[in-house]
Structure 1
Amino acid sequence: MLSDCTLNAALPAVAARPRDGGRRSLPARLTAWLTAAALALGPLAADAQQAKGPPTLRDAEIEQLLRDYTRPVLRAAGLEKQNIQITIINDRSFNAFVADGRRIFVNYGALLDAQTPNEIIGVLAHETGHLAGGHLAKLREQLSQAQTQMIIAMLLGLGAMVAGARSNSSGAGQIGAAAISAPQEAIRRNLLSYQRQQEENADRAAVKFLNATGQSAKGMYTTFRRFSEQILFAAQGSDPYTLSHPMPADRVAALEQIARTSPYWDRKDDPALQLRHDLMRAKISGFMDRPDTVRRKYPPGNATLPARYARAISTYRHGDLRVALAEIDSLIREQPNNPYFYEVRGQALLEGGKPAEAVAPLRKAVQLSGNAPLIEMLLGQALVASDNRAYADEAITILRAALAKEPEAVLGYTQLAMAYGRKGNYAEADLASAQAAYMRGDFKTARDLASRAKTRFAIGTPGWVKADDIVTTKPLPGQKN
């Protein structure tokens, strides 16, 4: 189930926040200047996301594959117990980054462009290097120090300018202006130099983790070399001291030097893993590419499993359900224990206006996937949409089980509200709707619905307490009421 969603957890803001947790009152112009300086550095762009967050994609098959990719790397890095999550960003460009110490963000474009598992594993290993090295916390410390230095320089400069104005001395005023501007460039260069060092450290850590897991660093090297060639023209003539990453040629050369020392340099990916990777890329293409692009990538003469998968998805997405179902059924005959083929069949039927027919393949997908919560939610949606009151209790049970594992999933709460509504349980329906609104970041609607839910529950019951929590919870700084 490749679907859009929104990342709702707010990322911590850094700019102008003192380390004791309080807030200092800064002049408006100074606050604006500091914010502009911080955003120019790069890392804070992800840190400063508001509650709505970046647009993300969810899919059980892709997320399971990424967990399988990262599990040995995280173990080698000593992070296997940290519950690191992989979040897929709905962006076609090739990129990956870390932002909060708990998640690795990767654009779907990186997954689509990586031709082998080893290539994307290398990228994920690099981001794991940032997490293992505590680079975010260290960078925040550097930023905090830089902000303090900037504030001092600003205040000293303003003081000199005021003194110059009082004495009618243009020289003193010019000195004050210089005191404001001169330190800024030096501070910025120091921060960028520090960040470049972090990138180099993450490269070395990634190779170490790949060696520890018996995997080649060739894919990582190939990816970074390809990326460096793409930006080579843009980097020509650049001042290396103003870049947040090492110069492309220097970085690739350094990476190749350490990567080639690995005894696993020529090790290939397991064929079964390569097939899963190819199916992932085909699935993304089927959902995200235009039909003509899918046909060009996977022409009708290509009878491989990934090609048929991409064509089946693209076909149902663009109107020919009958042909798509025939193609999906041929995939199921070839891999009868693949839960994601049943999932796609159920999703095609559900989106094709046949929810009752979608129930059986989705039940099979849930069973084969070991109760994957995203597929459980899709099954719950099919049960609710079937307009069969007999399905309401089953839908509630399945959706509550899915939400216990995915407590921030808007789809689960929305379908749960509908299922409770079918049963006439309006207190639980209001509460689930309030939870869905809260997870979307619509706090006003969430509080309104939760307030109504409180009037329907007996005071002190679990439902009343949950509704009261939503009513009384204040948005984090920067979030809208």
Structure 2
Amino acid sequence: MAQVVPPHTSERPRSARWASRLAAVAAAAAIAVPPLPAHAQQRGGGVPLIRDAEIEQLLKDYTQPIFRAAGLAKANLKIVLINDKSFNAFVVDGRRIFVNTGALAESTTPNQIIGVLAHETGHIAGGHLSKLRQELANVQTAAVIGMLLGAAAVAAGSAVGGGAADGAGQAGMAAIHATQHAAQRSLLSYQRAHEEAADRAAVKFLSATGQSAKGMYETFKRFADQSMFTARYADPYAQSHPMATERMAALTEIARTSPHWDKKDPPELQARHDMMRAKLSGFMEAPQTVGRRYPMSDTSLPARYARAIATYRHGDIRAAIAQIDALIAVQPNNPYFHELKGQALLENGRAAEAIAPLRRAVALAPDPTLIQIMLGQALVATNNPAHAEEAIAILRNGLAREPDTPHGYQQLAMAYGRKGDYAQADLASAQAAFARGDIKTARELAARAKTRLPVGSPGWVRADDIVAAKVPPPPNRR
């Protein structure tokens, strides 16, 4: 991400100021898709991430065929959910695809969001980020040379004096302006080419997996229709993405040639997609909004799911548990209904009662890691020392798979505290602080843990690593 350029002073050479501004503009454009929202740049607890076993499993099932078609099956790519209502998905490196919850909520079919994910996979498979960074370096080099030549012309004009000086100075400044403008256009042109390439790659991946590109087409067409008025007088060479009309024309040509154009999503996948959207509504929208979106007259499973979640979050826990039990009666082997019951009980101070449904959820879920961490939390929350050993085993197992989970380390620290193992409690607390990005606190806790742990033991080595860790740079503020 671009570093914020500090305000210049009157003593700073103007050519240097232009070079800094160009570097900032170029660095800001170095991401081939819209950047992380400003409020998402905060570290640790300030990052509005969403973690949910059900949604993450669904997105994994959406993307695995795409990743295989792209030759990325072994790349260990992750989907990261951002708590943002806008429709957006983007990549910032070759390891993660970020998806806003708004994109999931607005996609009415699996195919629509799968098409978006296929497009972002196209950026990763094409190595667009690394290529764009190299292009950025090339642009900056050319721009700096142009600026230096312009600055030299300004200096030469000053040495001559008089009218000649004015002409040379104006020519020099014109050269600086032209260099910056040309560099920016060159970089944006490079980005547009990447977007077009990602569109073509996405259609290829979808065709290879026997899926339609219609959902991707529908999504981008909606964006095109929304931007048609504002883009009417836009300069096509000052856009980082292809102009809407051009993009849709190219996408239509390649997407409609697929033999799978009219293929529908499997009903069971559509059902899971509808449940995901209902879950997001229940957790993230006001009860009145949930009621309007899923009125009592709607007796579908997604509607009942959304209302049960909204009831537990904003209403009577007894009514909520009754609604969740009714869902379990319909699908007794749905792990996420059992998880919801455990979560509702846990968050309402009934930790002992939460253990049984969470155990059931862990047994049924295809990837129970996040649910395991919640089960560990429930065991700790009972305040029963007899549960401490089991909680430690469960939490350590979960954290081995999800090592960047501050909350899990906090629960682990509490479990160790119940046992009276304060050395391991300090280490777990240090790991929690480190995962949050609070390096100062992490170092202090790790240093204390080192004094309590045997020198050279695995825990001592981990604590020493935290003490020696470099402080990360402060996050950008946009």
TM-score (ref. length: structure 1): 0.91
Q: Over aligned residue pairs, what C-alpha RMSD do you find?
A: 2.2
Residues 24-103 of structure 1: pairs in structure 2 closer than 5 A: 29=17, 32-38=20-26, 41=29, 43=31, 46=35, 52=43, 54-103=47-96
Residues 3 and 24 in structure 2, CA contact (< 8 A), matched pair in contact too = no
Answering whether residue 163 of structure 2 is matched by residue 179 of structure 1, we say no
Distance 2:228 2:255 in 1: 21
Residues 51 and 441 in structure 1, CA contact (< 8 A), matched pair in contact too = no
Aligned residue type for 2:139: A
Change (3 A) 1:29 1:432: farther
Aligned residue type for 1:220: M
Distance 1:282 1:165 in 2: 69
Answering whether residue 236 of structure 2 is matched by residue 236 of structure 1, we say no
Deviations 1:256-315 (A, max 9, x none): 221111111111111111100000000001011111111111001111100000000011
SS of corresponding position for 2:103? helix
Distance 1:277 1:219 in 2: 14
Displacement of 1:464 after TM fit? Answer: 1.0
Displacement of 1:80 after TM fit? Answer: 0.5
Residues 147 and 179 in structure 2, CA contact (< 8 A), matched pair in contact too = no
Aligned residue type for 1:432: A
Residues 51-450 of structure 1: pairs in structure 2 closer than 5 A: 52=43, 54-168=47-161, 169-370=165-366, 372-450=368-446
Displacement of 1:461 after TM fit? Answer: 1.3
Residues 207 and 217 in structure 1, CA contact (< 8 A), matched pair in contact too = yes
Distance 2:420 2:148 in 1: 63
Distance 2:302 2:42 in 1: 37
Aligned residue type for 2:26: A
Distance 2:19 2:397 in 1: 46
SS of corresponding position for 2:81? strand
SS of corresponding position for 2:79? strand
Displacement of 1:179 after TM fit? Answer: 2.1
Change (3 A) 1:299 1:253: same
Deviations 1:414-465 (A, max 9, x none): 1101111111111111111111111111111111111111111121111111
Displacement of 1:31 after TM fit? Answer: 6.4
SS of corresponding position for 1:214? coil
Displacement of 1:42 after TM fit? Answer: 6.5
Deviations 1:139-177 (A, max 9, x none): 111111111122222222223323333333222222221
Residues 450 and 470 in structure 1, CA contact (< 8 A), matched pair in contact too = yes
Aligned residue type for 1:280: M
Distance 1:50 1:154 in 2: 32
TM-score (ref. length: structure 2): 0.92
Unaligned regions of 5+ residues in structure 2, if any? 6-14
Number of aligned residues: 460
Distance 1:227 1:320 in 2: 41
Aligned residue type for 1:263: P
Displacement of 1:385 after TM fit? Answer: 0.9
Deviations 1:114-159 (A, max 9, x none): 0011111111111111111111111111111111122222222223
What residue is the counterpart of 1:23 in the other structure? none
Residues 121 and 202 in structure 2, CA contact (< 8 A), matched pair in contact too = yes
Aligned residue type for 2:115: G
Unaligned regions of 5+ residues in structure 1, if any? 1-11, 17-26
Aligned residue type for 2:207: N
SS of corresponding position for 1:97? strand
Displacement of 1:352 after TM fit? Answer: 1.2
SS of corresponding position for 1:106? strand
Deviations 1:357-401 (A, max 9, x none): 111111111111145111111111111111111111111000000
Residues 15 and 35 in structure 1, CA contact (< 8 A), matched pair in contact too = no
Aligned residue type for 1:150: A
Residues 2 and 27 in structure 2, CA contact (< 8 A), matched pair in contact too = no
The structure 1 segments of at least 4 consecutive aligned residues displaced by more than 4 Å after TM superposition are 12-16, 47-51, 477-480
SS of corresponding position for 2:229? helix
Distance 1:114 1:318 in 2: 26
Distance 1:379 1:29 in 2: 56
Displacement of 1:250 after TM fit? Answer: 1.8
Moved more, 370-379 or 309-318: 370-379
SS of corresponding position for 2:99? strand
Q: Return the structure number with greater relative CO, CA threshold 8 A, min gap 6.
A: 2
SS of corresponding position for 1:104? strand
SS of corresponding position for 1:234? coil
Distance 2:408 2:23 in 1: 37
SS of corresponding position for 1:86? strand
What is the percentage of aligned positions where both structures have the same residue? 63
Distance 2:126 2:246 in 1: 22
Moved more, 267-276 or 369-378: 369-378
What residue is the counterpart of 2:12 in the other structure? none
Change (3 A) 1:83 1:327: same
Distance 1:113 1:406 in 2: 29
Displacement of 1:28 after TM fit? Answer: 7.4
Distance 1:62 1:371 in 2: 11
